[in-house]
Amino acid sequence: MTTTPSIAIIGGGWSGCTAARLLLDRGYRVHLYERDQQLGGHSRSEVLGGVVFEPNGPHIFHTSNTAVGEFVQRYGMRRAFEHRVLTEIFLDDEEEPRYLSWPPQVEEMRELPLWGRIEKELANLPETPSTANFQAYSESVMGSTLYDLFVRDYTIKQWGREPAELSADFAPKRLDLRTDGNRRLFRDTWEFYPERGFQEIIERIAEPVPVTVGATLDHTDLDDLAREHAAVVVTAALDDFAGQPDALEWRGIRTVSRYVPLDDPAATLTPGYQVNRPSLRRPYTRTIETKHATGQRIGATVVSEEYPGAPYRHYPVPTVDSRYEKLNVSLQESIRENAPLPVFYCGRLANYVYINQDEAIAQAMACADEVHGFFSAKGAS
């Protein structure tokens, strides 16, 4: 390299930490600015009274992307895991709920008093699922009875909208009907859950990166950044970053976590790590008991209830006309046009997209390549 450009990275979740580390390893100088007091972003784990738990909902790492799988294993992601999700179902005339697999397994449905109706609906499913909207997709994949039991009320609680108002685009990633008796949710090459959660893996990736925590940056900081840095990678939400906080719609969750002492170190309180609670009898959408995933042996547990409708930037809202995705692209362009230095974007917030952890890492890899390509073309390397 003739010069070593300095790159500012905004945001210290998976995408920011990975981009920072990859650029550092390629010989760039980097500096990472994180709003919170610690790294980890949305996937981070915390500890309450010695019990590892997840303040932002359940996070299971799964990928079939070889580059990503090898990358995380270099930083200690090794503990294999098999994620199974349960759904709490209340049937008319039954006092106690049933706990059934998610996605629904046809074998389990045969045990239900509603099986006759379900069987008829399954026999009449179309060959190709409807893509008209989320409800139409769901009903064409599992029939209306299973849709009513498993999907409808969960979706209304989760998104605050009728399922017919939501796009079908994200449905294939979330909905399925299983006939194979294999209750694992994911079918990827790798699936991990580290004993202490993801915090220490992300911190290990960022270990040699200079970091400033407690630093919330926005578009008004770009002039200052341009004095020290040759480019900036933004992983923050762009409505916030551009000073237009109402430009995009987001759906957020609030997690209420309860610490419960237990006599038996192996004991847990709920039937599984993640239990979906679609019923409108429950104000929350699911419970998470991370102890099931970590396998911790400790005389206590933490159970978290996840409440939808909180004012946080967690999920992009996938409307049928993709209006917010289009607005996000306009925000990306206008920030770039007005910035005194080159701006690159990666991650779930800056790209206004629901992505899993492995996809955030893959985006960061592509972003680091893009930054490197940019400076190579300029002859800086």
**Which residues sit at the interface with ligand FAD, rule CB under 6 A?**
10-16, 33-36, 41-43, 56-61, 215-218, 235-236, 240-241, 253, 314-315, 347-349, 355-357, 360
User: Measured from the CB of residue 54, what is the shortest distance to ligand FAD in angstroms?
Assistant: 8
Could you give the angle at which helices 357-377 and 14-25 cross, rounded to 10 degrees?
Answer: 40
User: Measured from the CB of residue 132, what is the shortest distance to ligand FAD in angstroms?
Assistant: 26
Element (H, E) at 89: strand 85-89
Q: What is the DSSP letter of 163?
A: G
User: Measured from the CB of residue 184, what is the shortest distance to ligand FAD in angstroms?
Assistant: 13
Nearer to ligand FAD, 41 or 69 (CB): 41
- Of 360, 335, 88, the C-alpha closest to 232 is 335
Nearer to ligand FAD, 41 or 104 (CB): 41
Question: What span, in angstroms and rounded, lies between the C-alpha atoms of 149 and 286?
Answer: 15
User: Measured from the CB of residue 36, what is the shortest distance to ligand FAD in angstroms?
Assistant: 5
Residue identified by tokens 């170190």 is 265
Nearer to ligand FAD, 146 or 238 (CB): 238
Question: What span, in angstroms and rounded, lies between the C-alpha atoms of 207 and 36?
Answer: 17
Nearer to ligand FAD, 90 or 312 (CB): 312
User: Measured from the CB of residue 300, what is the shortest distance to ligand FAD in angstroms?
Assistant: 23
CA of residue 88 relative to chain centroid, distance: 22
Nearer to ligand FAD, 143 or 316 (CB): 316
- Give the pairing type, strands 343-345 and 231-234: parallel
Residue 240: Cβ within 10 Å count: 18
